[in-house]
Homo-oligomer: A and B are copies of this chain.
Amino acid sequence: MSLPGHTLAPVSVPDPVPVGVVGASGYAGGELLRLLSSRPDVTVTRALARSRAGEPVASVHRGLAGVTALAFEPLELGRLDGVRVAFVALPSGESMAIMPELRERVPTVIDLGGDFRLPNGDLFRTFYKKEHSTPSLLGHVPYGLPELFRQSLHGASLVSNPGCYPTAAILALAPALRAGIISPTGIAVTALSGVSGAGRSSDEALSFSEMNENVRAYRIGTHQHVPEIETVLERVAMTRVSVSFVPHIIPVTRGIYCTVHAPLTGNVSTDDARDLYRSAYRGEPFVRIRESVPELAHVSHTNFCDIFVASDPRSGQLIVISAIDNLVKGAAGQAIQNMNILLGIPEVTGLL
């Protein structure tokens, strides 16, 4: 049946941009493949992984059967020659070794791991428990949080995609810190993560029988996202920032729910605080300032960050809550948002 008045005119459509994924067998890699699969303007041509070379991508990401016909290739960087953008979704600590060669072969690299997020090798050593191989690069790689650093991304050949907790915590705190309505110290961040944040895992502690009907805090005071949150916020606040950060695993698959208590520096009403946040994120397509409390389910499978702010004058604290999908805005979605910016494609393409 043809539809009168809606015939598509023949047009010359440009070739899709070829992109590659390094570390394609994990959850973030799978989410990249899923999100990119429906786009006509971008095509994943290479899926590299440490193992399973030759096997169909859909043998691991079984939901992608019928969606992608790609097979995994070994992690040999020469296979990426010709791709325009490479996403690196390796475990933290593994991308720094391949980065020099990778950047020679691929014009634009977006690293989803933690290797290039900290400003210096000392912090990296302290929190990642290993020596950085190219510490001179640290402090010079743009941090791919477009809502705060969009200008620095244009033209970059390497972008460091933020961590999941930092995305939620930094977006929650930046406007208040910048405006000075909260103290830069004494900030308490309690964050809840879905289990997929730990990646594909055969850890018994992450088995369904152990995690169902359970909650577990972990890495109190030592999580590698602490210095990422603090140093990025310091760039925003122009002063030293100290955050007490307690991450938790809860029995959901996806999501980060971040609840912040921060000492108010003066009298600020909830309405004023909300106006401040609205103004700070005006025009941002993926930040929603909410009048009611955010829910994880509202951001699930989306690139949104929902933020709620309330003043609690009784206790003198500002309460800020943010919610994201850890695999989308906290990883693959934000990486694609960065790719769109770097390629000059409308930023929301494929994400709304």
Contact of A209 among B11, B62, B66, B253 (CB under 8 A): B253
> When the two chains form their complex, are residues A288 and B218 in contact, meaning their CB atoms are under 8 A apart?
no
Please give the distance in Å from A228's CB to the nearest CB on chain B.
14
> When the two chains form their complex, are residues A343 and B3 in contact, meaning their CB atoms are under 8 A apart?
yes
CA gap between A212 and B344 in the complex, in Å: 38
Q: Is A53 an interface residue (CB 8 A)?
A: no
Q: Mark A271-297, 1 if CB is under 8 A from B, else 0.
A: 000000000000001101010011111
A contact residues, range: 35 or more
Contact of A66 among B217, B304, B343 (CB under 8 A): B304
Q: Is A69 an interface residue (CB 8 A)?
A: no
Please give the distance in Å from A40's CB to the nearest CB on chain B.
11
Contacts of A343 in B (CB 8 A): 1, 3, 6
Contact of A261 among B185, B209, B212, B244 (CB under 8 A): B244
Contacts of A226 in B (CB 8 A): 314
> When the two chains form their complex, are residues A295 and B352 in contact, meaning their CB atoms are under 8 A apart?
no
CA gap between A94 and B309 in the complex, in Å: 34
> When the two chains form their complex, are residues B6 and A253 in contact, meaning their CB atoms are under 8 A apart?
no
Stretch in contact with the other chain, from A109-117, A140-148, A172-180, A192-200: A192-200
Contacts of A243 in B (CB 8 A): 315
Q: How many copies does the complex hold?
A: 4
Stretch in contact with the other chain, from A73-81, A95-103, A316-324: A316-324
Stretch in contact with the other chain, from A12-20, A131-139, A231-239: A12-20
Contact of A255 among B215, B293, B308 (CB under 8 A): B215
- Contacts A202-B203, A208-B208, A221-B319 given; indicate if A216 touches B295 (C-beta within 8 A): yes
> When the two chains form their complex, are residues B221 and A310 in contact, meaning their CB atoms are under 8 A apart?
yes
Q: Is A298 an interface residue (CB 8 A)?
A: yes
- Contacts A203-B202, A220-B312, A342-B1 given; indicate if A215 touches B250 (C-beta within 8 A): yes
CA gap between A11 and B12 in the complex, in Å: 9
Identify the interface centre among A196, A319, A344: most chain B CB within 10 Å of its CB.
Answer: A319
Contact of A188 among B17, B188, B288 (CB under 8 A): B188
Q: Mark A222-261, 1 if CB is under 8 A from B, else 0.
A: 0000100000000000000011111010111111010101
> When the two chains form their complex, are residues B212 and A208 in contact, meaning their CB atoms are under 8 A apart?
yes
> When the two chains form their complex, are residues B221 and A288 in contact, meaning their CB atoms are under 8 A apart?
no
> When the two chains form their complex, are residues A213 and B253 in contact, meaning their CB atoms are under 8 A apart?
yes
- CB closest residue in chain B, given A351: B38
> When the two chains form their complex, are residues B344 and A300 in contact, meaning their CB atoms are under 8 A apart?
no
- CB closest residue in chain B, given A187: B315
CA gap between A245 and B341 in the complex, in Å: 40
Contacts of A323 in B (CB 8 A): 215
B-contacting residues of A (Cβ < 8 Å)? 1-3, 5-9, 11-15, 17, 27, 37-38, 41, 62-63, 65-67, 154-155, 185-186, 188, 190, 192, 194-196, 198, 200-204, 206-218, 220-221, 226, 242-246, 248, 250-255, 257, 259, 261, 263, 285-286, 288, 290, 293-302, 304, 308, 310, 312, 314-317, 319, 321, 323, 341-345, 352
Ordered by A's residue number, 14 sampled pairs between the chains whose C-beta atoms are within 8 Å are A3-B344, A62-B298, A188-B317, A190-B190, A196-B209, A202-B203, A212-B213, A214-B252, A215-B252, A215-B255, A217-B257, A217-B293, A220-B310, A242-B316
